[in-house]
Amino acid sequence: MLAIKLCSCRLAEVAIGVAFAVWALHNGAAAAVDYRIEPLAAAADIDGLSDNITEQLAPTGIKIMRGNRTFCELWPAKSWAVKAGFSPSASVLYPFSVGELMGVVRYKLKATDFRGQEIAAGAYTLRYGLQPVDGNHAGTSPTRDFLLLLPTEKDTTAAAVEESSLFKLSAEVAGGTHPTMLLLMPFEGAADDLPQLAHDEANERWSVSFAGNGRSDGKAAKVPVNLVVVGQAAE
């Protein structure tokens, strides 16, 4: 009888182990597909956002969902100033100026930036920034292009923010000394198909591609960008 009891216990342990493995596999698969995007027809109505910033935003945006909950909402600026004659390189992809206003994001859920720093639920302005070439950031990202999050209560002007102030204000979002940043990746595809969401399974990153109205020397053209909204740098 004792042997029978021992066998029964082992069978129960095996059954529990199998059940757990199935549960983990199922939930892992679910986690890999739980983000999606929806159009956001409403204009940004954000408490504490200055009129100067609000006036620069497009009347519609993008909603990123996680399951049935809103993860974040993003409104690009009505137009982006782009550098005339710009040619992308392997490290700098986009024709924007450091400190330029790119839009506003409002997180409904707690998130993390590309460095794993915590982003509290709330609204933040998005400014273009370039990772410094100082030897301290080698290998941390494939490009130098980022959008930096700034606190809306301190970022109140539509004009570009100077680099020294840009990094300092962005660091306040995560409460540390390093800017709070979202990685910009190369865009591949047709601008007519935007917006769209992509999943990089190898690096477990989700990126949203969308287009803004670029302007340079009185000329306008759509400028697509690819922004990592979920995912971190490799350790």
Tokens 């529990």 label which residue? 16
Pairing between strand 196-200 and 69-76? unpaired
pLDDT band at residue 16, thresholds of 50, 70 and 90?
very low
pLDDT band at residue 44, thresholds of 50, 70 and 90?
very high
- Convert the pLDDT of each residue in 132-148 to its tens digit: 865 454 445 778 999 99
- Average model confidence (pLDDT) for the chain? 85
| pLDDT score for 235 | 60
| Burial class of residue 230 (count of CB atoms within 10 Å of its CB; 0-12, 13-18, 19+) | buried
For the chain, what is the total number of helices (H) and then of strands (E)? Answer: 3, 13
Give the type of residue at 213.
N
User: What would the mean pLDDT of 200-221 be, rounded to a whole number?
Assistant: 93
Give the CA dihedral 204, 210, 214, 219, nearest 10 degrees.
Answer: 140
| pLDDT score for 15 | 38
Q: Which residue in 200, 192, 210 sits closest to 230, CA to CA?
A: 200
| pLDDT score for 132 | 85
**pLDDT: is 191 or 148 the higher one?**
148
- Convert the pLDDT of each residue in 69-124 to its tens digit: 999 999 999 999 999 999 999 889 999 999 999 999 999 999 999 999 999 999 99
Which residues partner with 61 through β-bridges? 40
| pLDDT score for 52 | 97
- Convert the pLDDT of each residue in 17-26 to its tens digit: 433 333 333 3
| pLDDT score for 140 | 58
Q: What is the pTM of this model?
A: 0.83
User: What would the mean pLDDT of 193-210 be, rounded to a whole number?
Assistant: 94
Retrieve residue 18's tokens: 């199998």
Give the CA dihedral 162, 126, 150, 64, nearest 10 degrees.
Answer: -170
